[in-house]
């Protein structure tokens, strides 16, 4: 219908021009009428196109908005699921029996402790010149302290993979920085007590000084600390201040070092390890054995005769002792 209307208008304009013998013979009124018709025609076309374009933009905006709403919903669900998976993964690692404290008076050398104990202030890691490993327990063990505490080496690989998952999720905008801040109690322990330096020595043993393998760990730790500084969250900053790993502290940008201090070197006297003849057994708690009462058969016990000494009375009469007769 619109095409027929435009076509009819064009034919009328052309007919008017052709029927004129000479364009110069047209009167001013005719020229004005012709120009107004052309102007009206082209303005109608432009307005029609503008209206169509406006309607198309509006429809596109509605479709895109609905798509964005669905995408945001799916992204939020994916974010929540990913955070739950990360929390479950770390909980599984921390509850894994992997630590042997072989030379401490307050711990049992034959008990395998959970990895969570290795992240407490009671177990301060050290920076070794050479990583010492042992296969004495049937698994590859790494010495992590000056007191020859042993840790299952596979746990270190699991921790590295966990940090890489965090780093990829943040880089891909699947989770936000405030999301990983909610895990600061699980993340920041690896920035203190020489744990970062030990992991650097362990994973870069063949290329000393390279931190490429720990780049994900460094980025996640720096992201949490930077967020705490920007939001002025004092509790995590107090937790790490004065205990920061020296190597990690050197990797921090100059602006982030304000208000933070690295841990001072602590000289620990090395003690001889306790030699265990048997491999330790995972135990929850030692139960005391119940002793049964000793039952003695009275028939088998011989009674001992009772010996009693009876003193006989004596009567003295004028210096003469007279013994009384014993009763029969």
pLDDT in tens, 199-217: 999 987 655 556 888 999 9
Give me the residue label for tokens 């007191």.
147
pLDDT of 130 reads 84
Does the pLDDT value for residue 281 go beyond 70? no
Write out the two tokens for 92: 């599984």
pLDDT of 62 reads 84
Write out the two tokens for 218: 């460094």
Write out the two tokens for 208: 């000393």
Which residue would you say has higher pLDDT here, 144 or 281? 144
What's the chain's length in residues? 328
Highest mean pLDDT among 32-36, 82-86, 137-141: 82-86
Rounded to the nearest 5 percent, the helix, strand and coil shares of the chain are: 50, 10, 40
Largest CA distance in the chain: 199
Pairing of strands 150-152, 314-317: unpaired
CA 251 to chain centre: 21
* Vertex 176 angle, CA 174 and 182, to 5°: 120
CA 165 to chain centre: 10
Q: Give the Å distances, CA to CA, from 214 to 93, 175, 201, 202, 222.
A: 18, 20, 10, 10, 12
Contact between residue 114 and residue 92 where contact means Cβ atoms under 8 Å apart: no
Does the pLDDT value for residue 290 go beyond 70? no
Average pLDDT, integer, range 146-166? 94
Could you read off the pLDDT of 62-101 as tens digits, one per residue?
888 776 666 777 888 888 999 999 999 999 999 999 999 9
């Amino acid at each position: 219908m619109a095409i027929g209307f435009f076509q009819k208008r064009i034919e009328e304009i052309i007919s008017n021009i052709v029927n004129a013998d000479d364009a110069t013979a047209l009167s001013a009124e005719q020229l004005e009428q012709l120009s107004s018709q052309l102007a009206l025609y082209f303005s109608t076309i432009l307005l029609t196109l503008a209206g169509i374009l406006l309607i198309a933009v509006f429809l596109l905006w509605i479709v895109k908005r609905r798509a964005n709403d669905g995408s945001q919903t799916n992204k939020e669900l994916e974010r929540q699921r990913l955070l739950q998976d990360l929390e479950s993964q770390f909980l599984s690692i921390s509850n894994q029996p992997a630590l042997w404290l072989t030379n401490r008076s307050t711990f049992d050398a034959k008990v395998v402790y959970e990895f969570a104990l290795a992240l407490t202030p009671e177990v301060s890691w050290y920076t070794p010149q050479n990583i010492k490993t042992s296969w004495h327990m049937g698994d590859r063990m790494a010495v992590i302290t000056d007191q020859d505490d042993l840790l299952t080496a596979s746990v270190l690989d699991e921790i590295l993979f966990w940090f890489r998952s965090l780093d990829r999720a943040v880089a891909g905008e699947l989770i936000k920085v405030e999301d990983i801040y909610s895990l600061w109690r699980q993340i920041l322990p690896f920035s203190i007590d020489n744990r970062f330096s030990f992991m650097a020595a362990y994973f870069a043993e063949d290329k000393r000084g390279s931190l490429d393998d720990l780049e994900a760990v460094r980025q996640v730790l720096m992201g949490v600390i930077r967020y705490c500084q920007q939001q002025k969250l004092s509790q995590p900053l107090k937790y790490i201040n004065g205990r920061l790993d020296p190597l990690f502290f050197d990797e921090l940008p100059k602006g982030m070092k304000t208000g933070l201090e690295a841990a001072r070197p602590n000289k620990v006297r090395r003690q001889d390890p306790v030699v265990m003849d048997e491999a330790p057994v995972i135990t929850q708690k030692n139960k005391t054995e119940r002793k049964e009462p000793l039952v003695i058969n009275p028939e088998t016990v011989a009674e001992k005769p009772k010996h009693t000494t009876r003193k006989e009375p004596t009567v003295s009469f004028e210096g003469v002792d007279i013994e009384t007769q014993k009763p029969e």
